[in-house]
Amino acid sequence: MSDLPDAFYLPAGADRYEPTRATESPWDSGSQHGGPPTALLAHAIDATAGPGLRLARISVDFLGPIPRREVRIEVSPVKPGRLVSLSEARMVVDGRTAVTARAWHIATGPPPPVTGERIAPPAPPETVTSPEPAPELEGWGYGEAVEWRFSEGGHGTPGLARVWTRVRVPLVAGEDMTGLARTLVVADSANGLSAVLPFHEWLSIPPSMTTTLLRVPEGEWVHMDCRTHLAPDGIGLAQATLCDSEGHLGEVAQPLLVRER
């Protein structure tokens, strides 16, 4: 495994960031994987949230390949509010909006008398044998920037995947990694982890990704239970249930364009 950069992004001035090799897409070394941009947009939106509000859902739209060049982040309110608030962020590269995100923040309050059905946490990552790095991860920045511990499936293995993930570098150099960023860096990997068709023969492109979070993630590890479903007309759906060591965190959904290469 090659040396890792200091972070996914280096600060480059007001609202500007330089993406490092850790953001590198598996398809094009000059483009970014969708996970780090998602986390950076959520990080920027979260910084504008009022007191007592917590990010509950983020929906991200990828408007094309995301160049691995300096980005500018713009954040604007859509629906300010004391109990619920909707904000929008844009990642601009070379004067073009490459990614947009909308996030709902919801006010926290006193605990309810019941919490609903509880999803037990998976077996802890320490009990999962960490295999040698898969050959397809070597030299791929994003793949190397995350530690993957599979209890089912694996890189290059079609179908259901269950995996503990741990992000190896901070989101932004010089800043602490938050649980929110740690989760969103990996959430957009659901379709790649659970693809049911071979990558070298089929395209499986998610133009959008939505993550809904039940609570603030705890600890360094995030577990993803991923699966992909395909319709007979070339559209698919990738989903993932997110957990940490305490149990259920949230859900991921990605619509897919599925085409033979």
pLDDT tens for residues 140-178?
899 999 999 999 998 888 899 999 999 999 999 999 999
Does any domain span residue 3?
no
Does any domain span residue 83?
yes
Q: How confident is the model at residue 116 (pLDDT cuts 50, 70, 90)?
A: confident
Does any domain span residue 131?
yes
What gap in Å lies between CA 247 and CA 120, rounded to an integer?
5
Does any domain span residue 213?
yes
Q: What is the reported pTM? A: 0.95
Does any domain span residue 114?
no
Q: Is pLDDT above 80 for 110?
A: yes
Which has the higher per-residue pLDDT, 18 or 136? 18
- Number of domains within the chain: 1
Please write the tens of the pLDDT for every residue from 237-255. Answer: 999 999 999 999 999 999 9
Tell me the residue range of the domain where 197 lies.
9-109+125-260
Predicted local confidence at residue 206, as pLDDT: 95
Predicted local confidence at residue 131, as pLDDT: 59
Please write the tens of the pLDDT for every residue from 171-188. Answer: 999 999 999 999 999 999
> Which CATH number goes with the domain that contains 232?
2.40.160.210
Does any domain span residue 70?
yes
Q: Is pLDDT above 70 for 138?
A: no
b/e map of 217-250 (b: 16 or more CB within 10 Å)? beebbbbbbbbbebeeeeebbbbbbbbbbeebbb
Does any domain span residue 206?
yes
Does any domain span residue 2?
no
